[in-house]
Amino acid sequence: MSKPLSDHDKRKQISVRGLAGVENVTDLKTNFNRHLHFTLVKDRNVATRRDYYFALANTVRDHLVGRWIRTQQHYYEKDPKRVYYLSLEFYMGRTLQNTMVNLALENACDEAVESNQIYDPEGFLGLDMEELEDIEEDAGLGNGGLGRLAACFLDSMASLGLAAYGYGIRYEFGIFNQKIVNGWQVEEADDWLRYGNPWEKARPEYMRPVHFYGRTEHHPDGVKWVDTQVVLALPYDTPVPGYRNNVVNTMRLWSAKAPCEFNLKDFNVGGYIQAVLDRNLAENISRVLYPNDNFFEGKELRLKQEYFVVAATLQDIIRRFKVSNTEPCLSLFCPQVAIQLNDTHPALAIPELMRVLVDEEKLPWDKAWDITVRTCAYTNHTVLPEALERWPIDLFQNLLPRHLEIIYEINRRHLERVASLFPGDTDRMRRMSLIEEGGIKRVNMAHLCIVGAHAVNGVARIHSDILKATVFKDFYEMDPHKFQNKTNGITPRRWLVMCNPGLAEVIAERIGEDFIRDLDQLKKLLKFVNDEAFIRDVAKVKQENKLKFATHLEEHYKVKINPNSMFDIQVKRIHEYKRQLLNCLHIITFYNRECSHFYSFVTDFMLLLLQAAPGYHTAKMIIRLITAIGEVVNNDPVVGDRLKVIFLENYRVTLAEKAVPAADLSEQISTAGTEASGTGNMKFMLNGALTIGTMDGANVEMAEEAGEDNIFIFGMRVEDVEAMDKKGYNASEYYNRIPELKQAIDQIAGGFFSPKQPDLFKDIVNLLMHHDRFKVFADYEDYIKCQEKVSALYKKPKEWVKKVIYNIAGSGKFSSDRTISQYAREIWGVEPSLEKIAAPDDPK
Ligand SMILES: *Cc1c(COP(=O)(O)O)cnc(C)c1O
């Protein structure tokens, strides 16, 4: 058998076409060797594979520098409106391959690297590009969808030539490394910066002070915030290249640094040594990412992080604005600046901008408020009440006393307006207040954002409709013009060209390469739905991807799977609303049917790649249940290799890039009305998997784009869920009526999957039977029926692949280029462009 083409060979083919392959391999080799010698201070006898990775990364980075400086100069000269994307998370993953793809350097680098002979105990070897790429640590500065969205948006903003900046925190520790020990999740610190980060540049010259604590003084000429503690914000810049347009934007992440005098002047209690040791207290602000997905944890350190990024960023924004606009012209601020808030996490931008304009710039309140509202826009990411940020007043009062005063004043004026528009409606006033009374008083950050922004958007059509109809109904009735939808998207560079070059190549052969920057062109593939050769090519790529992934699993996780089975994959954070438990019930039902020789399902390899927040008990129990089911199912000779359940540890961007291209079936099974959009669903669709899912989030629009016949939709619609909430959901009704469901639950409850500890899963059973907010049992029957339909179709490979093609052809809408173009035109007031800017001379 001939060796299948490696991904790099495939990318080589795709970039051959339409590319100016002028990059000089000799130059790259020279620079590679120069970096090995001068930057890494190594020779070939002592260089490790990591040294070669760093030499390559530095060589590639050199090609960014000229474009980066040029782009920023260009913005300085042209002075376009700047877009600031503020986010507590940027889930970037790796950078090397992304840079090579976007700069069209991949072929040249491949050649330069492969021809490099390095000494190995086995003899001299060419370096292997994929092996070098695998040395790079993921920049895991995010939890899941929200953080990955920010990363996809940066790629699209650069590719569309927007003068955009991502602003966030340079966490020293990103999302934890997950280990599975005896079936349980164990967390390890993600020390991603240990070997250094070749993609960032520290900018100590732009360090900015951020104030905390203290008190306010009211003087006739204004308010002073005094006796504060100062922490310095040290910026690190990372280049963000656009796709082959010579644009390089900046992601600026702030790191906390104690000032030299920290604790020495005013707070000196333990003397000099103690004061120096206490510098850690200040620097802890940027130490670690809070590992919660869709969950609010009201810790002071988190509130500090949120204010830290906002305060440092606004100083930067205003400084940059003043470079080209003289001070009295702050009225020009909103035509020149757009600030997008990724969820409420950076909501303090609203009172902070007010504080700067009123207290420091001495603008009258009304003028300052007008500027603030017209500058800020807010994206909502969830309707789950446990995820909404509601900060206790006393925490706020202590940490940010001036901001609390400003919020009270915003609220006073806001409620005055509510009262004038809805006279006598005191309950509405209570509901719409920024300050929640009753129990401990809290600041409702979503309300602050809606009031302080000119645009509020949900992230999929159904989600935006739910916002208007339920959670934000009162606000919608008052200001309907503020509410918009911006359905999420993913960047086709990372999520197709990079992760699935085989598919990208097969597509490019039919419709050319322009779909990479204009994903709607995938529609052209509809012509090929009945084209035998195309069907064969698409099927072949999928088979190759599955083989490759199976090999990866075998090498790295010592698990053997049947590459001809259906790869049925659910990868996402664990959350009750995402209903991994529904999938568990499907697996158990499948298993029970196999044991009774009722073969209704096709051979299946079920992969679950999930991650639980450390403090989320139920999520950790779900992991334990899945590993327990795996132990029974995978070792039962009756089932053999007809069903394997694999729980892969350490889910992250890089692992998603490996799993997504190998999937046949994508599980998107949240309770209708709970998943705001989902972006994992889009990645699978674009990579030729079929979806089994509920009418939730972006699934609704995916069904529309692919055609209802080409997606497996099951379960309750939002209206059904609402009706059931009114009537009351009774789990035991389903348990008593559906024998297979009863059997599965009885097995979990009776210790069938945990014989050594029969009551191990009693909490999960109790949850499902008595207080399941997400109504798993109500969708069980329809889900199983739908899985049977999936199995039936999978037995007809050609029919299956035709539906795959409808899905790929319909996935153009889900490019983040489309999403960003809509933000640009409908919220930011800027025009996207596919034009290139002039290329600099590359390094010699
Ligand atoms: C895309 C992505 C997500 C979001 O997945 P959903 O299924 O939409 O929740 C989470 N984590 C990573 C690493 C991703 O790449």
Ligand 1 neighbour 61 (Cβ under 6 A): no
C-alpha 145 to ligand 1 mean position (Å)? 5
C-alpha 149 to ligand 1 mean position (Å)? 9
Model confidence over 774-798: pLDDT tens digits? 999 999 999 999 999 999 999 999 9
Average pLDDT for 385-413? 98
CA–CA separation, 234 and 253 (whole Å): 8
Domain span at residue 204 reads 145-485
Q: Do 124 and 209 belong to one domain?
A: no
Using the Cα atoms of residue 567, residue 572, residue 575 and residue 579 in order, give the sign of their dihedral: negative
- Catalytic positions: 381, 572-573, 578, 679, 683
Closest Cα partner for 656 from 198, 103, 57, 138? 138
Q: Which amino acid is at 818?
A: R
Asked whether the beta carbons of 167 and 120 are under 8 A apart, the reply is: no
Q: How confident is the model at residue 482 (pLDDT cuts 50, 70, 90)?
A: very high
pLDDT at 18 over 60: no
DSSP SS3 for 241: strand
Q: How confident is the model at residue 4 (pLDDT cuts 50, 70, 90)?
A: low
Q: How confident is the model at residue 271 (pLDDT cuts 50, 70, 90)?
A: confident
Q: Do 591 and 457 belong to one domain?
A: no
Asked whether the beta carbons of 659 and 609 are under 8 A apart, the reply is: yes
Average pLDDT for 97-120? 85
Report pLDDT for 603.
Answer: 83
CA 356 to chain centre: 31
Q: How many C-beta atoms surround the C-beta of residue 217 within 10 A?
A: 12
C-alpha 654 to ligand 1 mean position (Å)? 11
Phi/psi of residue 689, nearest 5 degrees: -105, 155
Average pLDDT for 262-277? 76
Higher-scoring residue by pLDDT: 326, 776: 776
Report pLDDT for 840.
Answer: 80
Closest Cα partner for 525 from 697, 695, 710? 710
By DSSP bridging, strand 177-181 and strand 90-93 are unpaired
DSSP SS3 for 443: strand
Q: Do 588 and 655 belong to one domain?
A: yes
Model confidence over 566-577: pLDDT tens digits? 999 999 999 999
In the chain, the percentage of residues whose pLDDT exceeds 70 is: 95
Report pLDDT for 558.
Answer: 83
Give the count of domains, the chain.
3
Closest Cα partner for 194 from 98, 34, 62, 54? 54
Tokens of 494: 């990372």
Atom of ligand 1 nearest to the CA of 655: 13
Report pLDDT for 9.
Answer: 66
DSSP SS3 for 171: coil
**To 10 degrees, the CA torsion angle through 140, 142, 147, 150?**
-50
Q: Residue 484: in which H helix or E strand, if any?
A: strand 483-485
E strand residue ranges, 649-694:
665-668, 690-693
CA–CA separation, 794 and 665 (whole Å): 10
Cβ within 8 Å of residue 824, ≥6 positions away: 83, 160, 162, 830, 831, 832
Q: Which residues make beta-bridge pairs with 125?
A: 118
Higher-scoring residue by pLDDT: 378, 324: 378
3-state secondary structure 182-232: CCEEEEECCCCCCCCCCCCEECHHHCEEEEECCEEEEECCEEEEECCEEEE
Using the Cα atoms of residue 84, residue 240, residue 171 and residue 149 in order, give the sign of their dihedral: positive
Q: Do 169 and 36 belong to one domain?
A: no
pLDDT at 118 over 90: no
CA–CA separation, 793 and 801 (whole Å): 10
Q: Residue 59: in which H helix or E strand, if any?
A: helix 49-78
Tokens of 560: 């053997």
Average model confidence (pLDDT) for the chain?
A: 94
Ligand 1 neighbour 680 (Cβ under 6 A): yes
Report pLDDT for 112.
Answer: 86
pLDDT at 299 over 80: yes
pLDDT at 117 over 80: no
Q: How confident is the model at residue 119 (pLDDT cuts 50, 70, 90)?
A: low
Report pLDDT for 122.
Answer: 59
Report pLDDT for 817.
Answer: 98
Q: Do 243 and 380 belong to one domain?
A: yes
**DSSP string of 782-826, one letter each residue:** HHHHHHHHHHHHHTSHHHHHHHHHHHHHTGGGGBHHHHHHHHIII
Looking at 485, 516, 536, which one is the last position of a domain? Answer: 485
Model confidence over 628-663: pLDDT tens digits? 999 999 999 999 889 999 988 899 999 999 999 999
By DSSP bridging, strand 164-169 and strand 139-141 are unpaired
> Is 500 part of a structural domain of the chain?
no
Cβ within 8 Å of residue 436, ≥6 positions away: 390, 442, 443, 444
Average pLDDT for 417-427? 98
Tokens of 129: 């590009």
> Is 530 part of a structural domain of the chain?
no
Report pLDDT for 19.
Answer: 47
Report pLDDT for 748.
Answer: 98
Looking at 431, 460, 485, which one is the last position of a domain? Answer: 485
E strand residue ranges, 542-614:
566-573, 604-611
DSSP SS3 for 85: strand
> Is 844 part of a structural domain of the chain?
no
First CA to last CA across the chain, in angstroms?
Answer: 42
Model confidence over 28-41: pLDDT tens digits? 999 999 999 999 99
Report pLDDT for 95.
Answer: 98
Average pLDDT for 40-66? 95
pLDDT at 756 over 80: yes
CA–CA separation, 393 and 320 (whole Å): 33
> Is 789 part of a structural domain of the chain?
yes
Of 94, 289, 294, 573, which is best to mutate to test ligand 1, by the most ligand atoms within 8 angstroms of its C-beta? 573
Q: Do 124 and 153 belong to one domain?
A: no
Asked whether the beta carbons of 399 and 303 are under 8 A apart, the reply is: yes
Higher-scoring residue by pLDDT: 519, 24: 519
b vs e for 437-461, b when ≥16 Cβ sit within 10 Å of the residue's Cβ? eeeeebbbbbbbbbbbbbbbbbbbb
Instruction: CATH number of the domain at 568, please.
Output: 3.40.50.2000
DSSP SS3 for 40: coil
Q: Do 129 and 220 belong to one domain?
A: no
Average pLDDT for 176-196? 95
Average pLDDT for 740-756? 98
Report pLDDT for 556.
Answer: 85
Ligand 1 neighbour 235 (Cβ under 6 A): no
**DSSP string of 438-451, one letter each residue:** SSS-EEEHHHHHHH
CA–CA separation, 588 and 585 (whole Å): 5
In the chain, the percentage of residues whose pLDDT exceeds 90 is: 86
pLDDT at 666 over 60: yes
Phi/psi of residue 104, nearest 5 degrees: 55, 40
Tokens 């010579």 locate to 246
Q: Do 126 and 206 belong to one domain?
A: no
Tokens of 429: 């006033």
Listed range (20-34, 221-235, 592-606, 636-650) with the worst mean pLDDT:
20-34
Listed range (202-216, 325-339, 693-707) with the worst mean pLDDT:
325-339
Ligand 1 neighbour 679 (Cβ under 6 A): yes
> Is 543 part of a structural domain of the chain?
no
Q: Do 111 and 161 belong to one domain?
A: no
* Radius of gyration of the CA atoms of the chain, in A: 27
Q: Which residues make beta-bridge pairs with 167?
A: 86, 252
pLDDT at 124 over 60: no
Q: Which amino acid is at 703?
A: A
Report pLDDT for 2.
Answer: 41
C-alpha 668 to ligand 1 mean position (Å)? 11
pLDDT at 842 over 80: no
Q: How many C-beta atoms surround the C-beta of residue 3 within 10 A?
A: 6
> Is 535 part of a structural domain of the chain?
no
Cβ within 8 Å of residue 52, ≥6 positions away: 36, 116, 118, 127, 132
> Is 578 part of a structural domain of the chain?
yes
Report pLDDT for 665.
Answer: 97
Higher-scoring residue by pLDDT: 18, 98: 98
Looking at 485, 515, 547, which one is the last position of a domain? Answer: 485
Q: Do 581 and 478 belong to one domain?
A: no
Q: Do 400 and 450 belong to one domain?
A: yes
Q: Angle between the 797-809 and 776-794 helix axes, to the nearest 10 degrees? A: 120
pLDDT at 739 over 90: yes
Ligand 1 neighbour 94 (Cβ under 6 A): no
Report pLDDT for 621.
Answer: 95
Q: Do 108 and 165 belong to one domain?
A: no
Report pLDDT for 327.
Answer: 56
Q: Which stretches within 482-579 are classed as H helix?
A: 492, 501-511, 532-557
E strand residue ranges, 319-466:
337-342, 376-379, 390-392, 435-436, 442-444, 455-458
Of 571, 669, 675, which is best to mutate to test ligand 1, by the most ligand atoms within 8 angstroms of its C-beta? 571
Model confidence over 128-177: pLDDT tens digits? 899 999 999 999 999 999 999 999 999 999 999 999 999 999 999 999 99
Q: Which amino acid is at 334?
A: C
> For atom 1 of ligand 1, which residue has the closest CA?
680
Stated length of the chain: 844
> Is 827 part of a structural domain of the chain?
no
C-alpha 494 to ligand 1 mean position (Å)? 13
C-alpha 174 to ligand 1 mean position (Å)? 16
Model confidence over 335-377: pLDDT tens digits? 999 999 999 999 999 999 999 999 999 999 999 999 999 999 9
